[in-house]
Structure 1
């Protein structure tokens, strides 16, 4: 379930220009006025997640006779949903709701068929402020709310208890630093046994930059300037972050450079050949299935700041007519309410998208079902920012991913690699419409 990592790797698709207006598709308000409002959701889920969403939709349909929700996969998994929606929006064959990665929001918000739910979420019954701040940011573009939060995650450090014990290491302690992380990774590395301290993707995708941003933020840096017109990641904070990773890879040789992308690193962790693994809640079911003896820790910190990164996903609403938009918003308010979300979380291992979920009686059962999820859930408080809401972010990410690969392979120093990526990013950001 590496959804947050794959999100920004998709080539930027501009969905505004080809749209045919706001009134398209699937029946008119007059045609539906005499019966239940029928809406369609493209959920893009697989396996346990697909079964869970189907179960919840059935429950909603039974309890809401005035609305009928029809579920479809959309003909794509979550990774492939943006191209499907982009194509559908050029005709009348688009759904009322679709599951879309948060980093796609700037693109999709430009389409005139994307609904504005800003007024709807102001209803106190929705409990908008109960969602985490990073989720509200991800679904709000240019001041307009385009849907509801669907899933939230964050990055933590998973550690293999057996690997650390064999190296004579204790699990990470509260307040640990990136210097501690480097020292532990070096000590856990054993060339003789084929064991690495940690891993880093060099595949050129978003998974390569995903872990760099928290290090930059913790040190007081940022990804882009406030107006999104210039790169900021090549600041002293960025150079320090990438410089540390380069030293681990080139000097300590404690980093397995994963070009799979990011697939081999997890397999090494599961097989007892990796000590520390930066990842998130989506891998816990795999680790349990592989019977890995693992622990979970928040990210190392800088000067006491343990900020992490979150990749919220959205249920985005598209406009056919007023009744259908209202029905879609009503359904999503129900689906994202605490009780329904606890069902979804228990079925899938997802994190709570609302703070109030953590106070429900069944929440403790959920924590027991997924060992370590309590640490990841609490770590949502350290997820204070999301990636920049600009359609040019995928290109920026690709440039930085290339810089990371060059540095970790020893082909460039951190400053030169980041400066080159910044120059390319500035040129991309200067293009009108970004």
Structure 2
């Protein structure tokens, strides 16, 4: 998933909070101390002015600490264990299972009217074991961006896409049928729409709708059939899925007109626009004889640290400030991804139709599983997909991945 806020090792030395209430006299009720929020570089500046307003209103100093983008989850857990973590952390919803398992975050009590104002999928993503653990503010999912000069019409199926791509390739107009990052080690996130359309699944669900680690979809007959379908479009088949295309070159392939199609998220729009490509956005198509292509939906949220020494204020900030349309708009402007607040997403979709098209492309998407066991999926499952795309036997590749994943899950 693309949005994965991360932490700086130095962040583990975050300020310990102190809060004291006076014992009488005018203004003595104002708490004194500090509150720390960890956020990634894209959101730090946008958050700071709202944090300053909140701090002024509550008599505390609020620091928005800029952190890196690839280790915040592990750093946050380490900081929590050492008693030096932040009060609030901004991160991806699929962290929730791990953070709950480590006792690092608390559920949030969001009034029903505020819950109702949020996108239902965003609320589903941040709900774990029946409790809301974060207040969502942004969403993302994959869609199909196409070069409208090369491919004027949106493909209805993968087969339509491949037919157009092959024709353009044969005519020498493009080098690749599809810009889909696979790499030598696979990419289950970007392959998920195709895997799901072919009938595959990763985990079943329990009675509460949570991903069920006891029902592993990898290794089932459905997963083998899905891999067989993926193999048909691999390097020894139709040539649409290729290991030579990865995160380092896929953007340039599309931006330079070397492929008519690009499976990606809203994070790629700025570079596409800068390249001057005439483009449009539509849902990732499914296979002709398959089901819908169901992308993962990723949600970015604010979490209250269980170790916060100023928890009342942390909860106040997360439940009342994060769900504010003004802050939601500011966060969108800092990093344009569909807002989770319906009122704001509706408005920005009017101003920027691309946002609405990404929302539409993810309308049938499913939140990425937030259970800790999901970590066991990525590496073996990705490698199996890459192997099959390269010509390996689907059943053997799936069975090998299933064995590795099952051993990891235990």
TM-score (norm 2): 0.83
Number of equivalent positions: 388
The answer as to whether partners of 2:227 and 2:385 remain within 8 angstroms in 1 is yes
* Structure 2: runs of 5+ lacking an equivalent: 8-14, 23-27, 206-211
Matched residue, 1:282: 267
SS class of match (2:180): strand
Matched residue, 1:428: 408
Matched residue, 2:123: 136
Aligned pair partner of 2:64 in 51, 68, 71: 71
Kindly state the Cα deviation for residue 102 of structure 1 after the two structures are TM-superposed: 2.0
Give the alignment of 1:80-229 within 5 angstroms: 80-117=71-108, 120-121=109-110, 123-125=111-113, 127-164=114-151, 170-173=152-155, 176-190=156-170, 195-203=175-183, 208-226=187-205, 227-229=212-214
Kindly state the Cα deviation for residue 265 of structure 1 after the two structures are TM-superposed: 0.6
SS class of match (1:389): coil
The answer as to whether partners of 1:148 and 1:332 remain within 8 angstroms in 2 is yes
Write out the 4+ residue segments of structure 1 that deviate beyond 6 Å after TM superposition: none
1:233 has 2:218 as partner: yes
Residues 310, 204 of structure 1: alpha-carbon distance in 2 compared, 3 angstrom cutoff: farther
Provide Cα deviations, 1:352-390, integer angstroms capped at 9, x if missing partner: 212232444x6522x1xxx5222112334222x223332
SS class of match (1:189): helix
Kindly state the Cα deviation for residue 190 of structure 1 after the two structures are TM-superposed: 4.6
The answer as to whether partners of 2:55 and 2:62 remain within 8 angstroms in 1 is yes
SS class of match (1:311): strand
Aligned counterparts of 2:169 and 2:182: Cα–Cα separation in 1: 19
SS class of match (1:85): helix
Residues 321, 396 of structure 1: alpha-carbon distance in 2 compared, 3 angstrom cutoff: closer
SS class of match (2:249): helix
Kindly state the Cα deviation for residue 39 of structure 1 after the two structures are TM-superposed: 1.5
Kindly state the Cα deviation for residue 252 of structure 1 after the two structures are TM-superposed: 2.3
1:266 has 2:251 as partner: yes
RMSD: 3.0
Kindly state the Cα deviation for residue 128 of structure 1 after the two structures are TM-superposed: 1.1
Residues 25, 143 of structure 1: alpha-carbon distance in 2 compared, 3 angstrom cutoff: farther
Aligned counterparts of 1:124 and 1:130: Cα–Cα separation in 2: 9
Aligned pair partner of 1:296 in 256, 267, 281: 281
TM-score (norm 1): 0.79
Kindly state the Cα deviation for residue 400 of structure 1 after the two structures are TM-superposed: 0.8
Residues 335, 236 of structure 1: alpha-carbon distance in 2 compared, 3 angstrom cutoff: same
Q: Which one has a larger percent strand, Structure 1 or Structure 2?
A: 2
Kindly state the Cα deviation for residue 317 of structure 1 after the two structures are TM-superposed: 1.1
